[in-house]
Structure 1
Amino acid sequence: MYFPELKAPRTSNRLARLMELYESNYLLMRLLIPRLKDLDEDCYVSTQQGCVDLRLEILERCKYTTTLKLTYNFSRGSGKTSEPDLVIRIYHDARTAEAMSGLIHGKRHEQRRVRDLDEGWILNRFLYKWIKYCLLRGHRFSGLPDTAKLSPELAYS
């Protein structure tokens, strides 16, 4: 008797679950940025009382993808620190969102360069939890009055 699921490499199940996480991240990103294609500026800030401002920078817009950076900016000593600092690619046609790289807890993660499933899990699981947290705190990038537009020069000053 042949059971194909017993012969499948261990990575195939992990990859399938990671793809499901990308789909979940896409759904959460749509809640965080419901009108992404309508946003005409490159930098936005979501401000909620009692919360650190959440900053969104759109890095690239293409027909099927949008690449953006999502971060908090903290003042530390004489400068500012951006952390977490994630670069996220949204695939509109596939309806997935993938954290490609980022700074989490002081450590740089580069999943896209090394194509490492472990790095992919770290980045995307963090993205999933962080977006859920941001949504629970009331953050949104909707283009409505509670979301402020910033010029690129002011966004990180």
Structure 2
Amino acid sequence: MPKLKRNHWLASAQPRSFTGLMGLYESNFRRFERLAPELELPFESATSQGEDAVLHLRVIERCRYTTTVNLTYWFGEGAAAHPDPDLTLRVYRDAELAEAIYCDARSRYAALAGVPNIDEDVLSEQWPRNLLLNKWLAYCLAQGHGFGGANRPRRQPADVSG
């Protein structure tokens, strides 16, 4: 299992300060960049089999400088299947920041339940959601997850026979 470097700058950042939050967004971006090195994300969805479970990444929206994605594990089968944790993040490629903008409050993990959505007080409410994202990205990397070129589905080439 690869050992992850501790982000000493982030550790010394003042929690719930604007500077600390921006540092957390930057750290999230660096970790997401390691998880999905091709930040243009040329696919709609992909999976990664790590040591723990299958990690699912789905592109929700693409804009000129940002991409919004959903990152989750799925537990259970059929109608009983549910995502957990279920995080939506926005990746700002130009600014090199990644922000958790949604966390499903129905999580089975007590630490995730009740984490408010982005519409509330941004500075105080974004901190726990993005700290969660930061730690989860580190966990996913430690479990061997990745969405590099080899892990994404390929489109079938167009039929050129004529």
Q: TM-score w.r.t. structure 2 length?
A: 0.76
Amino acid at match of 2:27: S
Aligned in 2, Cα 1:12/1:143: closer, same or farther, shift over 3 Å? closer
Equivalent residue for 2:21? 18
**Aligned-pair CA distance for 1:114:** 1.3
**Whole-Å Cα distance in 1 between the matches of residues 79 and 96 of structure 2?**
41
What is the match of residue 83 of structure 2?
82
Q: Write 1 or 2 for the structure with the bigger share of strand.
A: 1
Of Structure 1 and Structure 2, which has the larger fraction of its residues in helix?
1
Structure 1, 82-91 or 114-123: larger mean CA deviation:
114-123
The runs of at least 4 aligned residues of structure 1 exceeding 6 Å deviation read none
Decide whether the 8 Å contact of 1:100 with 1:110 is kept in 2. Answer: no
Paired position in structure 1 for 2:48 = 46
Alignment TM-score, normalising by the size of structure 1: 0.78
SS in 1 for 2:153: strand
1:119 paired residue among 125, 135, 140: 125
Cross-structure match for 1:59: 60
* Identity among equivalent pairs (%): 37
Three-state SS of the structure 1 residue aligned to 2:53 is coil
User: What is the RMSD of the two structures over their aligned residues, measured on CA atoms?
Assistant: 2.5
Gapped regions of structure 1 (runs ≥ 5) = 1-10, 151-157
Task: Name the count of aligned residue pairs.
Answer: 137
Where does structure 2 lack aligned partners over 5 or more consecutive residues? Answer: 1-13, 155-162
